[in-house]
Amino acid sequence: MARPMKLTLCLTARCPLACRLCYAECGARPAAEELDTATWLRLIDALAEAGVINVFVEGGEPLARADAETILAHAAGRMFTTLRTHAVTIDDHVAARLAALGIGRVYVDLLAADAATHDALTATPGSFAAATAGIAALRRHGLPVSILAILCRPNAAALPALARLAAGSGADEFGVLRLYPLGRARRNWSELALPLAEQMAALRAVAAALPPGLRLMQSWHPNDANCCWQNAAIDPYGRAIGCPYLREYVDYGDLRTTPWLETWNHPLYRRLRAGAVEGHCPDCASSQLTRGGCRATAYAFHGRWDAPDPFCETMNQGTDLRVLPDRPA
């Protein structure tokens, strides 16, 4: 592709939570070097001019920025804009403002179906109650909501219960995400990670018990995509990183000084998009042109950009997903 269709803006590394499975190192205090408002607005203009039609805003917690509404409004006026949030600061006023801005969908991270497990994973007492209240406010104001859960040892058995909670809250989509080997999650990997067989069993269990009207989104076989071929991402400091899950492994250029499309044509980025991998799963490839599965996970486990994605049942090749190699970022 000459340019990406979709883009993730990692707006900030600031977050009021301290999730044990966070794939960044988010904290309560913003880093001084994060992009300012004017720079984000200029970048959004450049993206729109380059033909980006879909932008996904995440963090950290995007709503932790004082200028979040300004940035979201600027994006929503130029392209289809969605938001990922923990929802802990969303009340009726915030939900009404997000609806007025034209946010197309809100993705809310909810890590368990009960407060004890959720709050232990976020390391923040009261976060479950605040998040579920935020979801209710979003639905009262008509915003489409997807609930996201990161599959890990503490919540695997309760995914069907979490799907029921999602449906009962008015969400129309339940997304189960893999644990990515980055940030705080990497440091807590041995505590959180499951063997692939147990992950697949948990996915089958939730699929079998999915409430009517609730869509299931998941990132394992046969949906374990290499998103690099059509997606791009910008970190809080203005670096082009291709995908949020590559943030510790790549730097395609500083967008404060490098033209956007020049970073899209960075040699490594072009290589990842080309899909030159050691092996590929025919089922996954036929489903969505995945070109070898997730490159961040492949690199984290094998140390090679052309390695297979070990989260794919067909391409796992005996890799124990509970054991993460000690690989420098």
What are the average pLDDT values for consecutive 10-residue runs of the chain, which has 329 residues? 85 96 85 92 94 94 97 98 98 98 98 98 98 99 98 98 98 97 95 97 96 92 64 95 93 94 91 77 62 84 91 90 81
Report the chain's C-alpha Rg in angstroms.
19
pLDDT of residue 224: 59
pLDDT of residue 69: 98
Which pLDDT tens digit goes with each residue over 225-266? Answer: 556 667 899 999 999 999 999 999 999 999 999 998 899 999
Contact 296, 182 (CB under 8 A): yes
Which parts of the chain are beta strand (E)?
6-10, 54-58, 80-85, 105-109, 145-150, 173-177, 215-218, 231-234
pLDDT of residue 2: 75
Neighbours of 33 (CB within 10 A): 9
Residue at token pair 């374990």: 224
85: Cβ contacts below 8 Å, ≥ 6 apart = 58, 59, 61, 62, 63, 106, 107, 108, 109, 134
Which pLDDT tens digit goes with each residue over 297-320? Answer: 999 999 998 898 899 888 888 999
- What's the N-to-C CA distance of the chain in angstroms? 28
pLDDT of residue 327: 66
Domains of the chain: 1-329 (3.20.20.70)
Supply 85's token pair. 């949030």
DSSP assignment of 258-324: S-HHHHHT-HHHHHHHHT--S---HHHHHHH--SSS-HHHHHHHHS-TTS--TTSTTT-TT--TT--
Give me the amino acid identity at 246. L
pLDDT of residue 273: 80
DSSP assignment of 102-122: T--EEEEE---SSHHHHHHHH
